[in-house]
């Protein structure tokens, strides 16, 4: 299920009432990098744009999806989709801006792009979130081993900040 800032704003303003679930099938031996590449190709195609249009607030007509604007997260199997939606909604409500920083309840899947799906331990009943970052913005989800992109207070550009901070307000990079 794709998630981006537009969807989080829709959640924040009560326009989205749940996460849309899309079924994606791939061979268990296929590497994560290849699945990411397949998704990028599909999302940028005319068929992909039609598939998302009207089905999700994801529609990102202002930019193309690329390797540096897309990442995958696996929801903790102990977490229900409905409970996670409520958690995300509560986190959006707490935010004082649209610069959401939500601790993801699960695993960041792009740590090792070469591993096949079977080694990523993605079961048929697991939920994988596809996070799409808007160009010139930071990531909405944060978590262990996931790179963080934030606005630099010095140059005012969004980039991966190399400074690790124990409070995770500057960056969660270790």
Q: For 93-104, write each residue's pLDDT tens digit.
A: 888 877 888 999
In a domain, 161, yes or no: no
In a domain, 47, yes or no: yes
CA–CA dist 119, 92 (Å, integer): 33
Structural contact between residues 104 and 73, judged by C-beta atoms closer than 8 angstroms: yes
Q: What is the pLDDT of residue 3?
A: 67
In a domain, 26, yes or no: yes
In a domain, 154, yes or no: no
Pairing of strands 141-142, 102-103: parallel
Q: What is the pLDDT of residue 110?
A: 92
Q: What is the pLDDT of residue 54?
A: 52
pLDDT at position 164 over 60: no
Lowest mean pLDDT among 28-32, 49-53, 64-68, 133-137: 49-53
pLDDT at position 60 over 60: no
pTM over 0.95: no
Number of domains in the chain: 1
Domain that holds residue 74: 2-145
In a domain, 72, yes or no: yes
Query: Is residue 170 exposed (0-12), middle (13-18) or buried (19+ Cβ within 10 Å)?
Result: middle
């Amino acid at each position: 299920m794709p998630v981006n800032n537009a969807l989080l704003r829709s959640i924040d303003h009560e326009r989205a009432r749940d996460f849309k679930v899309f079924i994606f099938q791939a061979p268990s031996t296929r590497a994560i990098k290849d699945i990411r590449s397949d998704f990028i190709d599909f999302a940028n195609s005319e068929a992909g744009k039609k598939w998302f249009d009207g089905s999700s607030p994801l529609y990102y007509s202002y930019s193309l999806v690329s390797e540096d604007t897309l990442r995958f997260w696996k929801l903790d199997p102990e977490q229900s989709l409905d409970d996670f939606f409520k958690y995300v909604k509560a986190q959006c409500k707490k935010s004082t801006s649209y610069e959401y920083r939500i601790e993801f309840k699960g695993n960041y899947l792009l740590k090792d792009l070469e591993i096949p799906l079977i080694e990523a331990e993605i079961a048929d009943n697991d939920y994988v979130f596809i996070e799409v970052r808007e160009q010139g913005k930071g990531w909405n989800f944060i978590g262990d081993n996931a790179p963080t992109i934030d606005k630099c207070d010095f140059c005012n550009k969004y980039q991966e900040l190399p400074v690790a901070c124990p409070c995770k307000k500057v960056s969660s990079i270790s």
